[in-house]
Structure 1
Amino acid sequence: MAARGKHRRTRTSPLTRGVVTAGTGIAALALPLLSTTTASAAQPAKVPAAAPAAAQVRTVTYTTVKGDTLYGIADKYGTPGGWQQLHKDNRKAVGDNPRLMHAGLELKVRTTKKASAPAKKSTQSVATATQASVKTYANNLDGWIREALDIMAQKGIPGSYDGIYRNVMRESSGNPQAINNWDSNAAAGTPSKGLLQTIDPTFQAYHVDGTSWDPYDPVANITAACNYAAARYGSIDNVFGAY
């Protein structure tokens, strides 16, 4: 808006108050002079647009399924801070490496998405379906190897069913309670234990997160031994004798 009095001609006579003459000589056009009040009147202010309401953040519990990633979960729920914040909030459950996840983890997920009643029902249905789809394994050598292989796949540890089975049969004949009390390791106070005959220092150094700390636990023993074999030989599949 123009400032008061700007571009206004100087008044030269009281007789001309109320009009100003504009022209070149012959004809003159009398123009009403805006009063001071009119000239300084402010234009009606525009009402500012209402600021968008801040997103409501709430926390939900999500149970992971095979194939889930932190990025995908954060994107699905609109998690503030993205997958990095989701990992930070669930580091105890996920571990230090955000790429290594397995099914059945219960994550606390911050979400900005408001679920309607049908969506909430759908979420409950998904949770029920997830629980129903949790994989189970037979409590025998076949089941132990298959469970170990699934965990190894999530952790990026190489190995095959045949490679594990071959070494298990050589080392323990499939007995998870097997222990070697007569070799040099036993003489040193660290006897070899379990399906793949690991000594305690090796088991502890190569223990795989999410499995038992008991070296006699079949799945924990297999995964730790395969983790060690991967570091030393490239894979348990490359082991054909004492290791």
Structure 2
Amino acid sequence: MSASSIPGRLRRLNKTQKLSAAGISAVAAAALSLSLVPGNAEAETEPQALSASPVVFGSAASAPQAKTIQASLIEQHSSAEQMVKTIEAAKTKKAAAVQAKVDAVAKADAKKAAEKRSSHAASRSESRAPVYANNLDGWIKESLAIMKDKGIPGTYEGLHRNIIRESSGNPNAINDWDINAQNGVPSIGLLQIIKPTFDYYHVSGTPHTQYDPVANLTAAANYAADKYGSIDNVDSAY
């Protein structure tokens, strides 16, 4: 049907009818727009909490991570134990060193104390040592003390008796006329002993000379003890 066939009255809508059609169209569009918005649109405008998937350690994906953590803990425990052992060893070594120093000091003190006691004992011994007179009586008494210490028999009487007969108490007496003198070895001293006999029977601790009174008496008494049992048993030339 051509436009020319439409009744003129339909083509000529009045102004009021046009406005009504426009209003209907607007209302329809609004209804369509509201139908497209969800019913909970207002609630959905609020921020939603993020959800996180829980880690399941028993899963195959987390097993390597757990093993790594376990190995790390074992290594840390081992390192701690080693550190403790090192500290304890250092303490033990230090304690041993300190004890060694204490022991060394104690030993040094003990040694000094022993030396001091020995020195005091020596001083007391020296102070108690008898002082013999430088005469015939003193020589005999000193000789008897040495003879006692060496185990050589003899008495004061035996020594004195033979001294008077042999030299009259003169330590420098020399026999220059008997057979010994003729042989070049004269008898010398308080008990007129020749050098070979003196050298053989010399008593240690005394001077090695026939002219020393004590050396002469102890050597002659030692000889007499060997040959006669004691100087007390000698009553003539021996």
- TM-score range (shorter-chain normalised) is 0.5 to 0.7
Q: Deviations over 1:95-129 (max 9, x none)?
A: xxxxxxxxxxxxxxx9952349xx96x87765654
- 1:182 is matched with 177
TM-score, normalising length from structure 1?
0.55
Letter in 2 for 1:161: Y
Does 2:96 match 1:50?
A: yes
**1:222-241 superposed matches below 5 A:** 222-241=217-236
RMSD: 3.7
Is the radius of gyration larger for structure 1 or structure 2?
Answer: 2
Shift of 1:146: 0.4
Q: Distance in 2 between matches of 1:111 and 1:223?
A: 43
CA contact 1:55–1:112 (8 Å) conserved in 2? no
Tell me: CA distance 1:111–1:158, structure 2 relative to 1, closer, same or farther (3 Å).
farther
Following superposition of structure 1 onto structure 2, how do residues 64-83 of structure 1 map, counting pairs within 5 Å? none
Q: Which moved more, 1:39-48 or 1:138-147?
A: 39-48
Quick check: 1:201 aligned with 2:196? yes
C-alpha distance in structure 1 between counterparts of 2:223 and 2:216, whole Å: 11
Are the structure 2 counterparts of residues 56 and 138 from structure 1 closer, same or farther at C-alpha, using a change threshold of 3 Å? same
Q: Which segments of 5 or more consecutive residues in structure 2 lack a partner in the other structure?
A: 1-58
1:1-243 superposed matches below 5 A: 35-41=73-79, 42-43=81-82, 44-45=84-85, 46=88, 47-48=91-92, 49-51=95-97, 52-53=100-101, 55=104, 113-115=111-113, 129-243=124-238
1:3-37 per-residue CA deviation (whole Å, 9 max, x = no partner) reads xxxxxxxxxx9678869xxxxxxxxxxxx999322
Deviations 1:19-66 (A, max 9, x none): 9xxxxxxxxxxxx99932255242522221324136379xxxxxxxxx
Partner SS, residue 50 of structure 1: helix
Once the two structures are superposed, what CA deviation does each residue of 1:112-153 show, in whole Å capped at 9, x if it has no partner?
52349xx96x87765654443332112221111001111222
CA change 1:229–1:127 in 2 (3 A) is: closer
Distance (whole Å) between structure 2 residues aligned to residue 111 and residue 203 of structure 1: 48
Name 2:43's counterpart in structure 1.
none
Change in CA separation of 1:229 and 1:123 when aligned onto 2, cut-off 3 Å: closer
Cα offset for 1:219?
A: 1.0
* SS of corresponding position for 2:145: helix
Distance of 1:114 and 1:163 partners within structure 2: 47
Distance 1:56 1:183, change over 3 A: farther
- Could you say what secondary structure the match of 1:55 adopts? helix
CA distance in 2, matches of 1:201, 1:124: 40
CA distance in 2, matches of 1:211, 1:226: 13
Q: So what's the TM-score if we normalise by structure 2?
A: 0.56
- How far did 1:196 drift? 0.6
Q: How much has 1:225 moved relative to structure 2?
A: 0.7
Cα distance change on mapping 1:132 and 1:229 into 2, 3 Å? same
Paired-residue identity, %? 52
Distance of 2:208 and 2:183 partners within structure 1: 21
In structure 2, C-alpha distance between the alignment counterparts of 1:155 and 1:234, rounded to whole Å: 15
How far, CA to CA, are the matches of 2:235 and 2:135 in structure 1? 23
2: distance between equivalents of 1:165 and 1:171?
A: 10
Deviation at 1:209, TM superposition (A): 2.3
C-alpha deviations, 1:73-109, integer Å up to 9, x for none?
xxxxx8xxxxxxxxxxxxxxxxxxxxxxxxxxxxxxx
AA aligned opposite 2:218: T
As a proportion of its length, which structure holds more helix? 2
Whether the 8 Å CA contact 1:192–1:199 is kept in 2: the answer is yes
